Amino acid sequence: MHVVYGLVGLKTHCKVSMVVRQEGEGIRRYMHLATGNYNANTSRIYEDLGMFTCDESIGADATDLFNYLTGYSTKQEYRKLLVAPVSLRKKLEKMILREIEHAQQGRKAHLIFKLNSLVDPNMIQLLYRASQAGVKVDLLVRGMCCLRPGIKGVSENIRVISIVGRYLEHSRLFYFHNDGKENIYLGSADLMPRNLNHRVEVVFPVENKDHVHYLRQRVLDTYLKDNMRARVLQPDGKYNRIIPEAGKDAVDVQEKFMS
């Protein structure tokens, strides 16, 4: 959705659709939530992720969201959806701080974020704090990245990779290891002030264990192993293209998923 309803000055950037059906004596809500536009042209060249669900809490949240957009509600709390500018920044910060706490308690801690852009100063500082606490941070950032990885004492536990290939990498994915109780969120928001403060965005949880496993082990792991399209950001701000090591299989994430 790219229109402004009741929220003057805010671009509506979330990607949510809902069908409400009467079934028996009640109603049932069917939702599709996505990371990319409902656009037949860009869908041919953009990489994106989407989820169909009948989850009752997400359905109630989607209803509240549409009422919020049309001015029928001033909803500030949602059951499962993270909504900007209402709660998204606060909830993401809370989950990053939780990962920092795990690391400080000697537990395994790992963040993987896949984004278009990372420029928000507060989020960058929080990721630096995570690195300094011992959290492993992998960032897949296609475009602008104002964070500098690999600086001793600041960001030495952070790696930034950009994938540039046939398709425009467009999905946003947030992974939190959470001491083995993994959480994954998908959505429309980059870590930019405009997305967190000045747009209506939705980031939604993936709760099915099989889906979480697929996104972590098949999708994210393949991105992190790419040695054909990947460029790694250096501490000086330059990107070095990864060259496959002798004897190792070539991994092209876009070719793999396309095939």
Structural domain contains residue 1: no
Question: Cα separation of 232 and 238, whole Å?
Answer: 8
Would 223 be classed as within a structural domain? yes
In this structure, is residue 237 part of a structural domain? yes
Give a yes or no: residue 121 inside a domain: yes
pLDDT at res. 201 = 97
Q: What pLDDT does 206 receive? A: 98
Annotated active-site positions, please?
Answer: 13
What pLDDT is recorded for position 239? 97
How confident is the model at residue 244, as a pLDDT? 87
- What 135-138 contacts at long range (C-beta under 8 Å, 24+ apart), as own/partner pairs, is 135/99, 135/100, 135/102, 135/103, 135/109, 135/110, 135/111, 136/109, 136/110, 136/111, 137/110, 137/111, 137/112, 137/113, 138/110, 138/111, 138/112, 138/113, 138/224
pLDDT tens per residue across all 259 residues of the chain: 333 334 446 899 999 999 999 999 999 999 999 999 889 999 999 999 999 999 999 999 999 999 988 887 777 899 999 999 999 999 999 999 999 999 999 999 999 999 999 999 999 999 999 999 999 999 999 999 999 999 999 999 999 999 999 999 999 999 999 999 999 999 999 999 999 999 999 999 999 999 999 999 999 999 999 999 999 999 999 999 998 888 889 999 999 999 9
- 40 is a domain residue: no
Q: How many domains does the chain have?
A: 1
What is the domain range of residue 140? Answer: 81-258
Return the pLDDT at 1.
39
Q: How far is CA 249 from the centre of its chain?
A: 28
137 belongs to a structural domain: yes
* Per-residue pLDDT at 74: 75
Model pLDDT, residue 170? 97
- Write a three-state SS string for 176-212: ECHHHCCEEEEECCCECHHHHHCEEEEEEEECCHHHH
CATH number, domain of 98, equals 3.30.870.10
Question: Length of the chain in residues, anyone?
Answer: 259
For residue 241, the one-letter residue type is R
Question: Which one-letter amino acid corresponds to residue 131?
Answer: S
Q: How far apart are CA 76 and CA 45, in angstroms?
A: 35
Structural contact between residues 148 and 171, judged by C-beta atoms closer than 8 angstroms = no
The span from the CA of 259 to the CA of 246, in Å, is 24
- Per-residue pLDDT at 9: 64
pTM: 0.94
Give domain status of residue 43, yes or no. Answer: no
Q: Is residue 136 part of a domain?
A: yes
